[in-house]
């Protein structure tokens, strides 16, 4: 039987650099890795009135359909392909079968609550929490949500203070206790090379399990 995939969970606050680092991993191991983004699994709210959908708290764990994420992650781990959903933020609509994914030697999962959700956490072989100063995270979120999600500056600022910050304090920050390592990229630049070297060593020692 082929060796199982190595599954990496990356968590951290909004704007901490989760997506950035997950993509760096994907780019460093282009033929050996598959990337899953937790945000693809937001619940479909397109049937709600716009004012009600816009008021929904996307920084709360209940905004994510973890059962589907976990099911598809286990399917990949077992060597089978899946079609992950996507999300259209303008009208809060889930896009079915948006991301065809193949099993791989390295499976990378990134998102706010990847280390908060107990069942999901149990699947990970490496658990990383990315730390960043609150002002840095806010500035990044302001830029991202304006450019890629169509939100206004006032919407982003209000959401940050009323939803993102309290949800971070309640759910995200405590999940760092489950991490193998808590890393601030601006303060520890050496960790990245060490982590990549560990993954290369794992692949060299275990071969490429997925053919």
Q: Is residue 210 pLDDT above 80, yes or no?
A: no
Average pLDDT over residues 79-85: 97
The model's pLDDT over 25-52, given as tens digits with 9 standing for 90+, comes to 999 999 999 999 999 999 999 999 988 8
Question: Residue 55 half-sphere exposure, CB side, CA atoms within 13 Å?
Answer: 5
Contacts by 23-26, CB closer than 8 A, 24 or more apart: 24/192, 25/106, 25/108, 25/196, 25/199, 26/108
70 pLDDT tier (thresholds 50, 70, 90): very high
Strand locations in the chain (E): 6-12, 33-37, 82-88, 93-101, 106-110, 126-130, 181-183
Cα three-residue angle 81-211-82, rounded to 5 degrees? 5
What CATH superfamily classification does 6-206 receive?
P-loop containing nucleotide triphosphate hydrolases (3.40.50.300)
**CA separation for the pair 47, 31 (Å, rounded):** 39
What is this structure's pTM?
Answer: 0.90
pLDDT value at residue 150: 81
Q: Please answer whether residues 86 and 92 qualify as being in contact, where contact means their C-beta atoms are separated by less than 8 angstroms.
A: no
> Residue 100 has what pLDDT?
98
The enclosing H or E element of 165 equals helix 165-167
> Cα 150 to chain center, whole Å?
20
């Amino acid at each position: 039987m082929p060796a199982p995939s190595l599954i990496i969970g990356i968590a951290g606050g909004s704007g901490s650099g989760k997506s950035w680092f997950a993509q760096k991993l994907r780019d460093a191991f282009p033929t050996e890795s598959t990337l899953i983004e937790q945000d693809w699994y937001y619940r479909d709210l397109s049937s709600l009135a716009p004012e009600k959908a816009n008021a929904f708290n996307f920084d709360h764990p209940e905004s994510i359909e973890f059962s589907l994420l976990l099911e598809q992650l286990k399917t990949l781990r077992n060597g089978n392909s899946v079609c992950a959903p996507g999300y259209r933020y303008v009208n809060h609509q889930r896009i079915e079968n948006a991301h065809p994914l193949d099993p791989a030697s390295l499976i990378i999962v990134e998102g706010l609550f990847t280390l908060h959700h107990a069942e999901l956490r149990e699947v990970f072989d490496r658990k990383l929490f990315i730390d960043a100063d609150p002002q840095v995270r806010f500035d990044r979120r302001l830029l991202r949500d304006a450019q890629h999600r169509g939100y206004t500056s006032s919407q982003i600022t209000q959401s940050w203070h009323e939803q993102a910050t309290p949800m971070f304090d309640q759910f995200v920050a405590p999940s760092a206790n489950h991490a193998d390592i808590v890393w601030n990229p601006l303060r520890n630049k050496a960790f990245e090379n060490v982590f990549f070297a560990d993954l290369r060593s794992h692949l060299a020692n275990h071969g490429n399990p997925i053919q």
